[in-house]
Chain A
Amino acid sequence: MKFSILVNEGPFTHQCSDSAYQFTKAALEKGHEIFRVFFYYDGVNNANKLAEPPTDDRNLTANWSALAEEHGVDLVVCVAAALRRGLKDDILASGFRISGLGQLIEAGIQADRLVTFGD
């Protein structure tokens, strides 16, 4: 099946991004296709490479980047939500790209299922 994923919360206050990451990883391991992961609301903070969580904790930004590198997953950050939160290209972690909300609509159209992770 072809999935798109919507991530609506940042990497720490909520479990949202952890759940989205685990779901995406499991889907890929089962042979499903991930058309795109779209980051909206505080979800854009997942793409901030300046974040330095304690070393004994998971690093979701690095995990998402690794998923992009290993599986070519398209990680798209909403530009309007990103600008509000000070997230720009020069602090964008590898594997992420900034684009418009149209990419979310396209993700909904192209995938068999769009799965939302939020609060």
Chain B
Amino acid sequence: MSDNNEAPPPIPPDDDEDEFGVIKKFCYVNRKAPYGTVYALESLEMVLIAAAFDQDVSVVFMDDGVYQIKKDQDTTAINMKNFSPTYGIIEMEKEDAEEDEDMDMVWRIIVEKESMEARGLTPDDFKVEVEVLSSDELAKVMAEQEVVISG
């Protein structure tokens, strides 16, 4: 035992805020058709990076954005790269996260019902399995998000 009466050294400042220990709810809103502008492609690249950070991610397709995940895209006539197979990676990441109990990552793939129906589409038309939510339900999901990124 020390007979030293000095006060214990101060507790070092908490530097946890520099760590990525935090899980936030990220929502990526895709509203644009897959071709014609670059928004869909670069938004997809953003979503894929999210997979490297164990976060709670919701990927939303609405308005013409629902076409981004349409099956059987053929872009040969417009000489553009068909990047739609890459959406399968989101579904794979989602399945991995659901199966691995040690992974905190959460993925949701959501399609807005009104946008889908207005374009004569059904869930069977999509390359990935989706949650179909009405505009009102989607508004509630968005209200729960902490970071909403739209492109």
Pair A109/B150 contact, Cβ less than 8 Å:
no
- Measured between alpha carbons, how far is A100 from B53 in the docked complex, in Å? 13
Known A109-B53, A118-B150; judge A101-B46 contact (CB<8 A).
yes
Please give the distance in Å from A41's CB to the nearest CB on chain B.
Answer: 6
Q: How far is the CA of A81 from the CA of B146 in the complex (A)?
A: 25
The answer to whether B151 touches A101 (Cβ under 8 A) is no
Whether, in the assembled complex, A93 has its beta carbon less than 8 Å from a beta carbon of chain B, the answer is no
Interface size on B, residues (CB 8 A): 21
Is the beta-carbon distance between B151 and A105 smaller than 8 angstroms? no
A40: interface (CB < 8 Å): yes
B49 pairs with A101, CB closer than 8 A? yes
A116 touches B149 (CB 8 A): yes
When the two chains form the complex, which single residue of A41, A81, A102 contacts B52, counting CB atoms closer than 8 Å? A102
| Residues 116-151 of B contacting A (Cβ, < 8 Å) | 146-151
Give the CA-CA distance A110 to B21 in the complex, in Å: 11
- Which residues on B sit within 8 Å (CB–CB) of A104? 46, 49, 149
Q: Is there a chain B Cβ closer than 8 Å to A114's Cβ?
A: yes
Q: Spell out A's residues near B (CB within 8 Å).
A: 6, 8, 40-42, 80-81, 100-102, 104-106, 108-110, 114, 116, 118
- Residues of B in contact with A (beta carbons under 8 Å apart): 17, 20, 22, 24, 26, 38-39, 42, 45-46, 49-50, 52-53, 55, 146-151
